[in-house]
Every structure is written in C-alpha cells, then in structure tokens.
Structure 1
Amino acid sequence: MYSPTPADWNEANRAHWDERVPLHVAGDFYDLDAFRAGHDPLRDFELAEVGDVGNRSLLHLQCHIGLDTLSWARHGAARVVGLDFSEPAIDLARGLARDLGLGPDRAAFVAADVYDAAAAVPDPSYDIVYTGVGALCWLPDIGRWAETVAALVAPGGFLYLSEFHPLTDVLDDETGSRITHDYFARDAWVEESAGSYAAGGAEFTHRRRVEWQHPVGEVVSALAAAGLRIEFLHEHDVSLFQRFGSFERRDGYFRFPADRPRIPLMYSVRARKD
C-alpha cells in the first residue's frame, strides 16, 4: 500500500535483501554453477548498447551478488567494482571473484549505501557506471541518485542504466492488462510479502520492504539536470522474470503472448559526461 516513507526504510530493505542472499544462492534463478562454468547473464541488448568494454574501468552500483559485475570483467573490462548495501551479498560476490581467479585489482566489491558510493569506492571516477535491473525502485530520491552517478562518471565516460519499465508497476499482477495503480504516485509502497523473483516459494523473516515508483521522465530529467548528456532512451518489450501470470517464456525472455498488443517492459538509457 502507498504510505509516507517510514523512518526505517533503509534498515528494513537491507534486512530484507540480506535474507534474500542465501535463498537466491540456493535457487535456480542465478544458477551459480552454470555461472562459474561460463554462463553469461548479461542481456543481448545490454551488450550491444554498452559496446566494447575492453581496457575500461566499470562501476556497478547496487550489484547484489555480483554476477553482472563479474560478467563485464569476463567481457574484457580492465577493472570492475561492485557496490551493494548488503554485506552478505558482497561477501558472496568476493567469493565468486576468487572462484573465477579474479583478484581485487580486476574485481573489487564494496559494501556501502549507493548514496555514499563516491566516498566508498576505491577510485574517484569510472569510464562506465552501470546500474539498474530492479535497482531504482529501492531509492526514494532520484535526483540525489543522479548527482551521485554523475560524479562517478569520468569525463568522456557514460552511465548505462538498464531497468524495468515503471509502467509495469501500475498493472494488475495476473494478466497485466488492467491499470490498478497510479503511475505518478510519489508516496512509498510498503508491503509485506513472502518470496522473491528468484525464490518464489521462500518464507522470509524480514518480510517488509519499502519501494518507490519513478516514471521514466523523472529519471531522464534527473540525469540531464546532473550534467549528463542523454545519448539514447530505448524501450524493450521483454522482461527477465515472470512479472505477470500471463507471461510466456520465449527466446530467453518473458513476454506477453504473441497475440497481445505489446507495451514496454524494460528501458535503457545511456548518458555521457562530455
């Protein structure tokens, strides 16, 4: 339900994500054995839109357990740094880096709040700041986030954001065909629920989570106001999990049935610091 932002929103969300880590590790969604064996979890449109990362530094904000972060290292990034506010997630990411033979000179992980990233990461700026895929909904202040990422992008570098489209948050969960929530809502969404996208039947002790909805226009405008030049905004008709009961899995993605009109399910933005 929508409500004013609770004072303990960050602590509640951190406890919720700390508890997710072992449940996600045990499930099939991330499939760590396949990842260690070489499976690449990055999406094809991300690889095309980010382009060649060879000999570049890359910072991944809100990296969870670091699979995407480490995948960019596999694609040739000279140094990757992952940041997340969950200590258990960062501990696991560090272990995965060791499993892949990547030392801290190639892959480093930092436990810190995203708003404190500039003071927490080992380098003052990065050629590429990469973020998204379910990250922005956990942040109340998009303007502050945009200022943070803009400060971390090196001159000539860029931010790349790949995120779920906020239009999906206003539709009913079963069919995704009825508008049931307000696209422009600014209050927090506070919910107690079991399970997660990667552990559907799991029971949580820390069930409460606090999220916010950020329209695409708000995100893009915040990046521009922070001094980044928008190079593109792309929308995609695919999702990465069973967001709606009517979704079908085709070509490695979740989509609406082929006979249904399409809507944007994800979007991506690249914004450069000149």
Structure 2
Amino acid sequence: MTTTSGQTDSGRTGRAEDWRETNRAMWDERVPLHTGSAFYDLAGFRAGRNDLRGFEPDEVGDVTGKRLLHLQCHIGTDTLSWARKGADVTGLDFSGAAVEAARNLAAEVGEERARFVEADVYDAPAALRGETFDIVYTGFGALCWLPDLARWARTAASLIAPGGFLYLAEFHPVAMCLGEDGRAFAEDYFARGPLTYDEAGSYADMSAPTRHNRSVEWLHTMGDVVSAVSAAGLRLEFLHEYDFTLFEFLDDMVRGRDTSGSRGGGGTVYRLPEGRPRVPMVYSLRASKD
C-alpha cells in the first residue's frame, strides 16, 4: 500500500533503470516495521482474523479449491486470507524480505495451501514456469509501483487459465489527486509520472526511523486501467466504485467499520463527513478470460 504524501519531485528520475532497485530497497527496509506494527496486527491475524474487505469475497465468489495468484503480495496477509477462504494460493513479490516474512507467517498459521515466490511482477510468467491460475488477484496499493500498465495487464492475462479471471481492488485515482481538505484537486489527474518521493517512516508507523526513504511511483487514470485490461484480451465484467478508503489521508475523515459486502469486512474504513459531496475512494474490477 502507499499514500500520496511526501512528494518532492514530479520530474523524471535520474536513470530509468533505477526505479526498481530504489523501490525494492525501500520495501525491504519496511518489512520488519510492518510485521511488528499495530497497523498489520499479526497477532490478531495469527488468531484467525481475515483481512479482506467486505466486498471482495462477494465479488470474487467461492474460491474453494481454486488456484489464486496474488501479484505484489507484500507480507502475505491478504494472500493467506484467501487461503482461509479455501483457495490454493500463490503470492508473488519482488521483495525478498517480504516473501520471507510471508512464508514465515504461513508456517505460523499452519496454512499448507500457500506458497510464496520472489520475483518482479513483470517476470512472473517465467518465475512461475508457465503455470496458470483460476484467479489472478491484485490488491490495494499495487499499481502505483508499475510504470507500464499495458505490460502489467498482458502479464496478468497470460497467467489466467481459460475461464478464469483477473480481480483488482485498488485506491481510486480521483481520490489520490485530492488536496488534504478533500474539496479540490491538488494533483494533476493526468500527470502519470514518474513521481519521486522522499519520506521517512511508513504508512504503518510514520514516526519510525528509516534510511531508504526514496521511492518512485506512477499515477494511472481509470481510463488507463480499463483500456490496459481490455487491450490484453480480457472481458470486463464490472467496475465498482466505493465511497470509503483504508487510510485517513484527508482532513476531517470519519472513521467507521467496513460494512460492504453481504457479511461485512469488519475492518476500519474512512469516509468524508456526512453532508459533504462524496467522491470515489476505492474501486474494484473483474475481467474474465474466455
């Protein structure tokens, strides 16, 4: 996951090839912060908590016995949450530290239907040796780390078995452009990047001392996402938008419980105060492979 605070330079980075290693160093350093943080609350997860948002299981459907690939899985809490729903899961991430943490967590909770692979998302087909999956899942805060969305969509499509589908749940690009007061745009919706940031700490602990603070991100419009998925040969089934998000990133946001979906997620979400015009904060889409 990521927030949009801390931008220092919206120009191009020094060398295009630096972005991957820059981001990897940042994520590797933050893994121990995240595994020990109250934000991820791994003790609660070990005790049985499911970290999926309420609408996700409804939109994905029954995953019992399905092969599910989670791209950019980080420390694996969402991946293992799908395993707790009955899926045979594979998590993939470019951070070796994150993959190691995910493997340890799977062992601690006794989840034998989970495996974790260290690889860049663009290299996933080779790393997985041509294996395909019933469901390819990408969760919150993933797409902003990828410069080439069309390549991402082609990669995801190549990993889906016939009759399977891509499911994406992400932060909405409109919300990511709002200023802190939530009333006007502060960022250019069409400024795709690269955007460079230099910010200590982490969304899980903003006060944590860190050394690798530089990161490189990209913005992708809703049109970019839908067009990339369609161009990859996938058939869009739905695009849903929601008026809540997972972070208190705007002034005066109201904290509440996730009541989306037929069973509710039970986690914490944030909305704009009642009476304020609502904007889309997160979205989900599902696209199938015939």
TM-score by length of 1: 0.96
- Structure 2 SS opposite 1:218: helix
Range with greater deviation from structure 2 (147-156 or 246-255): 246-255
Give the Cα–Cα distance (whole angstroms) in 1 for the partners of residues 79 and 130 of structure 2.
16
1:184 to 187, 190, 201: 190
Give the Cα–Cα distance (whole angstroms) in 1 for the partners of residues 167 and 43 of structure 2.
28
Range with greater deviation from structure 2 (115-124 or 155-164): 115-124
**What's the counterpart of residue 154 of structure 1?**
161
**What's the counterpart of residue 219 of structure 2?**
213
Q: Does 1:11 align with 2:21?
A: yes
Range with greater deviation from structure 2 (191-200 or 36-45): 191-200
Give the Cα–Cα distance (whole angstroms) in 2 for the partners of residues 72 and 143 of structure 1.
26
Q: Which runs of 4+ in 1 moved over 3 A?
A: none
- CA shift, 1:259, in A, is 2.1
Partner amino acid, structure 2, of 1:264: P
Give the Cα–Cα distance (whole angstroms) in 2 for the partners of residues 186 and 268 of structure 1.
20
Counting aligned pairs with the same residue, the percent is 59
1:122 to 1:102, Cα distance in 2 relative to 1, 3 A: farther
**What's the counterpart of residue 91 of structure 1?**
100
Q: Does 1:2 align with 2:18?
A: no
Q: Deviations over 1:85-139 (max 9, x none)?
A: 1111100100111112123xx1110011000001112661000000030000000
**What's the counterpart of residue 204 of structure 2?**
198
Partner amino acid, structure 1, of 2:275: D
1:85 to 1:212, Cα distance in 2 relative to 1, 3 A: same
Give the Cα–Cα distance (whole angstroms) in 1 for the partners of residues 47 and 139 of structure 2.
25
**What's the counterpart of residue 70 of structure 2?**
60
Partner amino acid, structure 1, of 2:11: S
**Structure 1: which 5+ residue stretches go unaligned?**
none
The structure whose RCO (Cα within 8 Å, separation 6+) is larger is: 2
Residues 81, 121 of structure 1: 8 Å contact kept? no
Q: Deviations over 1:138-162 (max 9, x none)?
A: 0000000000000001100000000
What RMSD in Å do the two structures reach over aligned CA positions? 1.1
**Structure 2: which 5+ residue stretches go unaligned?**
1-8, 258-267
Aligned counterparts, 1:1-274, within 5 A: 1-5=9-13, 6-7=15-16, 8-77=18-87, 79-103=88-112, 106-121=113-128, 124-172=131-179, 174-251=180-257, 252-274=268-290
- Structure 2 SS opposite 1:68: helix
1:122 to 1:93, Cα distance in 2 relative to 1, 3 A: farther
